Structure 1
């Protein structure tokens, strides 16, 4: 490891990790080798350059991953970057299922981290779609007219949460399915929660 300092919050996170512990430690060592600052954000180890997020380590049921905050701007020479869902505009992941994979890919992982650092130093930004480009389905408009509190609650959500709902509602081909989806998530919206928030 180089002169990158470890963060006690990340030490604590790792000590409590039940799944992917070895993988997380392995990824942490690789990232710290790239001289980024270790931070702890969104309940995960996050690595920054002068306060700007570069990469985050996180785990899911079937894989753990390195998430590049501006992954959409990286040249994916090895074809390893994954867009989590079609709604994700900027971030990209490299996924792993075991320590062996991480060890074999160490050089590739570092090359992507250095690329991400260059992108940040160059001040590049992901060209995000404007919120206005997302069309609110008619059924949701009708619901807003019916229940003004729903419109207020929806507009108070973060743009990302609004987008996720609009996408989810709009994906249904039939109007009655769209209505059913809206009804199902109405209380969620009123509670200020996103689509996947518990």
Structure 2
């Protein structure tokens, strides 16, 4: 018996319960996921020692019965798992209450947005010297998004020799002044 077949009966029972809701079954990442308006709400799966129902935005569930766990504490922000080790642990009414709350939270748009880590682009000395000596160039460079600024910096930094770095700076000066990003022609 393979790991995936180990909980086949139990997972089928969970799927039968979920089918009583308005969620739509789909397959993502090789697993069974249920969506509402194409938004992930819950998933079902079997592991070596347990089978589980996971809630993509489970952090918003009241969880008064304390059924949910954060399987990866400190890393996972929203996802919560409800683990089972036997068919006898499946309580349809309780499960439907949790699923209905998850659907309502989805309808209300409750989500935890991933944090964007803002990293400052370290401008190489050779480029900084050019920017400091030409205020128009500096002003034009600062108008670019951090992403495009980073592309220019990486283009210069990937050169091994200083002469190559200097020739690359000369090449991009006109592009910067004309508000043309390094890779705009490919976009």
Instruction: Please identify runs of 4+ aligned residues in structure 1 that moved more than 3 A.
Output: 127-133
Aligned twin of 2:29? 42
CA deviation after TM superposition for structure 1 residue 98, in Å: 1.1
CA deviation after TM superposition for structure 1 residue 129, in Å: 4.3
In 2, Cα distance between equivalents of 1:121 and 1:18: 34
Q: Where do 5+ consecutive residues of structure 1 fail to align?
A: 1-15, 134-198
Larger Rg over CA atoms: 2
2:5 match: secondary structure = coil
Instruction: Tell me the C-alpha RMSD between the 2 structures.
Output: 1.8
Instruction: Work out whether 1:94 is the aligned partner of 2:97.
Output: no
In 1, Cα distance between equivalents of 2:107 and 2:66: 23
TM-score (norm: length of structure 2): 0.58
Contact 1:65 1:96 in 2 (8 A): yes
In 2, Cα distance between equivalents of 1:43 and 1:128: 23
Contact 1:65 1:95 in 2 (8 A): yes
In 2, Cα distance between equivalents of 1:23 and 1:129: 36
TM-score (norm: length of structure 1): 0.55
CA deviation after TM superposition for structure 1 residue 19, in Å: 1.1
Q: Quick one: structure 1 residues 131 and 90, their matched pair in 2 at CA, closer, same or farther if it must change by over 3 Å?
A: farther
